[in-house]
Amino acid sequence: MTQYIDIAVNLLSDRLKHDIDTIINEAAKHNVSPLIVIGSDLDESSESISICQQYPQQLYCTTGVHPHHASSWDQHSKARLTQLAKQDTVVAIGECGLDYNRDFSPRPAQRKAFAAQLELASELNMPVLMHCREAHSDFIAIVNEYRAQLPNALLHCFTG
């Protein structure tokens, strides 16, 4: 029987976090397992790790700072993200990237956080889960700086 993996579950969203057991069980009934929970900022990444530890057979996670939250990136973020990324349940850095459509964080902050996360993924030899919405030129320029050092990458959101 074919098995599927959902690589980008926003399981900690307000709509879903109260139904985690049901979601995991329903996914498994349809041969979707494991689920990979996305961390969109450092606090949510930490929470994702905790949830994954409760469901070690069904859940893995990513740790990262989504472009919407890039303005939260500061001088301590890389060290904290490094610590989170070394947990057994973490399979990738991200979701990170650029989102010039919504611009919830200033573009320079997005570029800085994205580059720092690609650098970390390179240092830790981890895959990266990326996001690019209406930021193609800047996105490609930053990715090209780290591309040769990244073991694997997945572009989860892309609009050019």
**Residues 33-86: tens digit of each pLDDT:** 999 999 999 999 999 999 999 999 999 999 999 999 999 999 999 999 999 999
Could you give the domains of the chain?
Answer: 4-158 (3.20.20.140)
Q: What is the mean pLDDT of residues 131-158?
A: 96
**How high does pLDDT run on average in the chain?**
96
Which conformational region is residue 103 in: left (phi greater than 0), alpha (psi within -120 to 50 degrees), or beta?
left
Range list of β-strands (E), the chain? 4-9, 32-37, 59-63, 90-99, 128-133, 153-158
Q: How confident is the model at residue 29 (pLDDT cuts 50, 70, 90)?
A: very high
Mean pLDDT of 85-101: 98
